[in-house]
Structure 1
């Protein structure tokens, strides 16, 4: 401003006053968004700005924790990529295993073996729901975990002996489609 010969002293004062008023309005807006633990009337401007910066950092940390918790609840386990790989900071899937299903027909019964990674918690419940929709009677259901692989074994009765072949084929087809569609995200 000092170097601009076209501005008078009053113009420079007006410009500076407007700049200060704008800064004051912006600070007031920032101050209104930050919850205060202590009375802010006594705090200096730098202290208020430090408190706002700390509050934003806490929000960022909380957001990251919530994202990790959401991923955990959805069955997605993530870890940072190793130092020999890309340094972009992206995450990679850990324990990701596409689901597989094996179905064996034994007389009027079916044995269903669902193999998933730890990241597919929902699949067992959805498989049971699907079997109930088809009218199958579940005799036993169990699971075992080996490292990051879950083996679900379900034994079920298909229904009338007249319709066992059709029922077993329909159930097998629906289960295979469900597992294929669930693994294709």
Structure 2
């Protein structure tokens, strides 16, 4: 009987040793993975190997820095969103009080052209038609977008002059855009 009890206790000690070894190995692997996620410029080391405790401290510091950065970016985003809301309400006030729709605004800045078209929802023209006019006149469209605000439709097109020597005759582009949206 005593032999069975001692066999059981030695096997349970062996099991505990194996479990503990596996746990330490698992923790070592997790610490290695954590350390590998920290950018190399964040690691303050010499050529010596740093301890796991130091690795954990560096990871904690890095996580705190990321949290601070996230908070700052959220503040910047909220400020920008508020600025856009204020800007959009100012645009709406301007559109509702004084501007006759539709509006064609063409700005030329060197080889770049920005076209802003504002129309009511009842005026039906397609953005691709405005893009085609620009491309027909020698511009290459870089980006185009539209948005709706209230009962107004805003189109913005950014283009570049294809051949700088020839340029784009903006007065002709403006005339064709007027014909399109009026």
The TM-score bracket by the shorter chain reads 0.3 to 0.5
Rg (Cα) greater in structure = 2
Higher helix share goes to which structure? 2
**Under a length normalisation based on structure 2, what TM-score does the superposition of the two structures give?**
0.43
**Under a length normalisation based on structure 1, what TM-score does the superposition of the two structures give?**
0.42
